[in-house]
């Protein structure tokens, strides 16, 4: 059993998704039950499905000084970093601790592979075209290397790429670095953008719905893919005693199958237990669970098995009906939704769910609801049976 | 749009007291087992002999990693990165005498499964609807971690990371931090495979090479590794000349070989990058 960890203050956070740019846009859409999915108008060849596309990325080039980092994923990273006072907050921790004492840990599943795909579509005599002959964007560390340069953060810099749990695990990695004194603060987050690889890849696995995804609905039939950028700044609690806190995290492996979750939720349950143990929290104390809830038949069926652990007053929802499954960005995006639930005493509803699957209906919240949230969890499960669970708390409750 | 995202000058004077003093503590771990694979030196004893100048490259060595831990069906179908990672991880656990089922693991690779990335990009450019579902799920950076945890029945946490040209140091720091923070042995593997297709010109890695270590927390076990932050100007320790071809192939290989060279000898101090702005001092006692 994992030992309890000292909590960390989340001193700034932001998210940009199909719901808009910044936390206020996310909250407004969640409260209005206004989903962000639209018919696919992105892939290089037609594919009938719905996507969570961030508006305006095409019209937001990087500043000239960062032109060598140009690609959709880094544009979305820049848009995400520009919201909710993040630049000033990052500047403050860098000034306070020194750039080398701030860690950068980001999650992504495909980083800027969209740029590599484009290069293959535009090969010139078998070679990448001139404008895409930039090795640093054709590799999974592209996102983190760009953000390091854009922010001036010069401490440990790591990309975690464990598919759909990537940007949940960044919180765990950052907590260890801070606890061990290897860093005094950490910028964590995740960015993934729409690309052919994931649209046609999940389609090949027959996991993409032709309709907007319906998490936890009896009739659900697959995911809608989305894109997002989400970030959080973690510091020791004394830096901001009243800020919401990261109180726990859990990590586990299913040891079962590359693309199908363990049917009895063995790994998911282990990640949940680990998170609760590190937080010193009982399942009955949890007020809100942001579920992984991809809307595949198997994920939601598996994840529903966890719900009876929680009090009947606890509320649970998947927000993927709003944003789509943002893959490597989902962990950080949904951590922001959990933080928002705590700071606004608000349960984000589970969109597109007509008839909740049996056994889950007691917990699945389908309407926006004002309710006190002291403790919130966020689940993220990825290919390879890679599981993570995050626990956040209101400062007064932690 | 600002020219720079974070204007540090606007955020007040830098706290020189905080930033200037060396507060970087040591991370101390023991190395309980070592595994390595590359063509011509398929295990740690072979590579160690080579580094010590006691032997040359083995001409009779297998062209593919044996990856004995994988079920035979999986072994036939597995991508190169999975075979390589499973082979070195299996060697390290066997050398450490540790059951892998309870070892948290950190898998580091600069670029991941380059052959499948090439396949994906080429297929998407010509016939996207024909993309292979198996190749798609094998394209994720954590495919080797996934196959390893399934084969080893490992239910502990597993991670897959990259730090581009600092991937060896960044991954080692992540794994050592995990071992110390959670007071647990940790399996660390770092590897890259050869690139192929048009992407190869951007990634420049031509040979498969990997190293795995079982790290144990604390300062009791030998060989012993102590890690501390170094000054950014420190120069990176070079790999020895006898493996120059391999080291020149890829920075991950170069850094891992410099590290292994210290383990093959009487220990040493070395400096390796963990990020573009962060150098680590490593002291190895054998």
Per-residue pLDDT averaged across B49-63, rounded? 94
Distance CA B121, CA A117 (A): 5
For residues A127 and A139, give the distance between their C-alpha atoms in angstroms, rounded to a whole number. Answer: 17
CA–CA distances in Å: residue A376 to residues A32, A84, A309, A336, B113? 21, 21, 14, 11, 36
Banded pLDDT at B204 (limits 50, 70, 90): confident
The answer to whether A11 contacts chain B (CB < 8 Å) is: no
The whole-angstrom separation of Cα B176 and Cα B182 is 10
Query: With 50 as the cut, is the pLDDT of residue B9 above it?
Result: no
* A335, containing H or E segment: helix A330-344
**pLDDT digits 0-9 by tens, A159-199:** 999 999 999 999 999 999 999 999 999 999 999 999 999 99
Spans of chain A below 70 pLDDT:
none
- Give the C-alpha separation, B241 to B249, whole Å: 13
- Tell me: the pLDDT tens digits for B105-141? 999 999 999 999 999 999 999 999 999 999 999 999 9
Cα–Cα dist B29/A75, whole Å: 40
The pLDDT of residue B1: 39
Q: Which residue of B has its CA nearest to A117?
A: B121
The number of CA neighbours under 13 Å toward the Cβ of B263 is 25
Share of chain A above pLDDT 70, in %: 100
Using DSSP's 3-state secondary structure scheme, residue A20 falls into strand
Band the pLDDT of B12: cuts 50, 70, 90: very low
pLDDT at position B142? 98
Write out the DSSP string of A234-264: EEEGGG-TTS-EEEEEEEEE--S-SSS--TT
On average, the pLDDT of chain B sits at 91
* Alpha-carbon torsion (B110, A225, B144, B58), positive or negative: negative
A43 touches B at CB < 8 Å: yes
Helix A196-204 / helix A113-121 crossing angle, nearest 10 deg? 90
pLDDT at position B3 is: 54
DSSP assignment, residue A163?
G
Question: Quick one: pLDDT at residue B168?
Answer: 98
| ipTM reported for the complex surpasses 0.90 | yes
Distance CA A104, CA B6 (A): 14
Q: What is the pLDDT of residue A310?
A: 98
Give yes or no for residue B16 having a pLDDT over 60. no
Contact (CB, 8 A) for B96 and B89: no
Q: What residues of B are in contact with residue A196 (Cβ under 8 Å)?
A: 124, 128
pTM value is 0.97
The string of pLDDT tens digits covering residues A88-122 is 999 999 999 999 999 999 999 999 999 999 999 99
pLDDT in tens, B169-189: 999 999 999 999 999 999 999
Cα A235 to Cα A245: distance, rounded to the nearest angstrom: 9
* Mean pLDDT in residue range B192-215: 96
Q: Give the model's pLDDT for residue B23.
A: 47
d(CA A52, CA A43): 12
- Rounded CA-CA distance A55/A60 in Å is 10
Mean pLDDT within B58-83 = 94
Measured distance CA(B258)–CA(B244) in Å, rounded: 10
CA atoms within a 13 Å half-sphere pointing along the CA-CB vector of A162: 34
Residue in A91, A128, A172 nearest the CB of B201: A128
Q: A211 at the B interface (CB within 8 A)?
A: no
Please measure the distance between the N-terminal and C-terminal CA atoms of chain A and give it in whole angstroms.
20
For chain B, what percent of residues have pLDDT higher than 90?
Answer: 84
* Residue B21: pLDDT over 70: no
pLDDT, residue B193, reads 98
Q: Residue B229: which pLDDT band, with cuts at 50, 70 and 90?
A: confident
Query: What number is the average pLDDT over the span B190-217?
Result: 96
Are A216 and A318 in contact by the 8 Å Cβ rule? The answer is: yes
- What number of residues does chain A have? 398
A201 contact residues in B (CB cutoff 8 A): 120, 131, 133, 136-137, 139
Q: Which of A92, A84, A143 is nearest to A113 (CA)?
A: A143
Shortest CB distance from B199 goes to which of A43, A138, A184? A138
């Amino acid at each position: 059993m994992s030992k309890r960890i000292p909590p960390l203050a989340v001193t700034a956070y932001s998210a940009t998704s199909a719901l808009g740019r910044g936390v206020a846009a996310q909250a407004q859409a969640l409260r209005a039950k206004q989903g962000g999915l639209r018919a696919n108008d992105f892939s290089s060849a037609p594919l009938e499905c719905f996507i969570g596309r961030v508006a305006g990325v095409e019209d937001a080039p990087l500043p000239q000084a960062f032109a060598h980092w140009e690609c959709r994923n880094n544009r979305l990273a820049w848009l995400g970093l520009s919201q909710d006072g993040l630049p000033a907050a990052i500047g403050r921790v860098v000034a306070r601790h020194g750039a080398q004492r701030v860690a950068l840990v980001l999650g992504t599943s495909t980083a800027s592979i969209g740029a590599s795909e484009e290069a293959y579509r535009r090969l010139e005599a078998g070679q990448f075209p001139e404008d895409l002959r930039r090795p640093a964007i054709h590799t999974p560390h592209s996102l983190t290397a760009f953000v390091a340069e854009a922010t001036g953060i010069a401490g440990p810099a790591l990309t975690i790429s464990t598919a759909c749990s990537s940007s949940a695990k960044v919180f765990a990695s950052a907590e260890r670095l801070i606890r061990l004194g290897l860093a005094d603060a950490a910028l964590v987050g995740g960015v993934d953008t729409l690309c052919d690889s994931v649209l046609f890849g999940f389609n090949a696995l027959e996991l993409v719905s032709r309709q907007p995804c319906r998490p936890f609905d009896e009739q659900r039939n697959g995911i809608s893919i989305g894109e997002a950028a989400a970030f959080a700044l973690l510091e020791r609690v004394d830096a901001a005693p009243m800020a919401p806190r990261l109180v726990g995290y859990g990590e586990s492996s299913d040891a079962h199958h590359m693309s199908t979750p363990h049917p009895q939720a063995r790994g998911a349950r282990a990640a949940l237990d680990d998170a609760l143990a590190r937080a010193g929290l009982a399942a009955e104390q949890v007020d809100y669970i942001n579920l992984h809830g991809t809307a595949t038949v198997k994920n939601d069926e598996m994840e529903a098995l966890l719900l009876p652990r929680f009090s009947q007053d606890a509320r649970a929802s998947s927000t993927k009906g709003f944003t789509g499954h943002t893959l490597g960005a989902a962990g950080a995006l949904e951590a922001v939704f959990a933080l928002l639930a705590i700071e606004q005493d608000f349960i984000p509803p589970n969109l597109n769910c007509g008839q909740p699957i049996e056994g889950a209906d007691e917990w699945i919240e389908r309407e926006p609801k004002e309710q006190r949230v002291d403790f919130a969890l966020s689940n993220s499960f990825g290919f390879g049976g890679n599981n993570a669970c995050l626990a956040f708390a209101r400062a007064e409750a932690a | 749009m600002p020219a720079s995202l974070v204007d540090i000058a606007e955020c007040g004077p830098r706290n020189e007291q905080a930033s200037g003093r060396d507060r970087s503590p040591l991370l101390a771990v023991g190395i309980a087992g070592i595994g390595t694979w590359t063509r011509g030196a398929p295990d740690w004893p072979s590579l160690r002999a080579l580094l010590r100048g006691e032997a040359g490259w083995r001409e009779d060595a297998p062209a593919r990693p044996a990856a004995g831990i994988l079920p035979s069906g999986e072994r036939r179908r597995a991508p190169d990165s999975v075979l390589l990672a499973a082979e070195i991880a299996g060697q390290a656990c066997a050398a450490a005498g540790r059951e892998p089922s309870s070892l948290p693991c950190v898998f580091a690779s600069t670029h991941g499964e380059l052959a499948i990335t090439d396949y994906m990009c080429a297929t998407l450019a010509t016939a996207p609807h024909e993309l292979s579902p198996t190749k798609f799920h094998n394209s994720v950076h954590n495919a080797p971690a996934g196959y390893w945890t399934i084969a080893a029945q490992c239910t502990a946490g597993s991670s897959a990371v990259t730090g581009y040209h600092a991937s060896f140091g960044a991954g080692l720091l992540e794994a050592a931090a995990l071992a110390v923070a959670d007071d647990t042995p940790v399996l660390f593997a770092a590897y890259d495979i050869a690139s192929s297709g048009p992407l190869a010109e951007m990634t420049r890695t031509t040979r498969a090479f990997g190293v795995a270590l079982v790290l144990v927390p604390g300062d009791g076990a030998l060989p012993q590794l102590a890690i501390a932050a170094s000054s950014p100007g420190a120069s990176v320790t070079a790999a020895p000349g006898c493996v120059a071809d391999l080291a020149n192939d890829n920075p991950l290989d170069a850094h891992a070989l410099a590290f292994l060279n210290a383990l093959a000898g009487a220990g040493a101090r070395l400096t390796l990058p963990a990020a573009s702005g962060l150098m680590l001092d490593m002291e190895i006692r054998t």
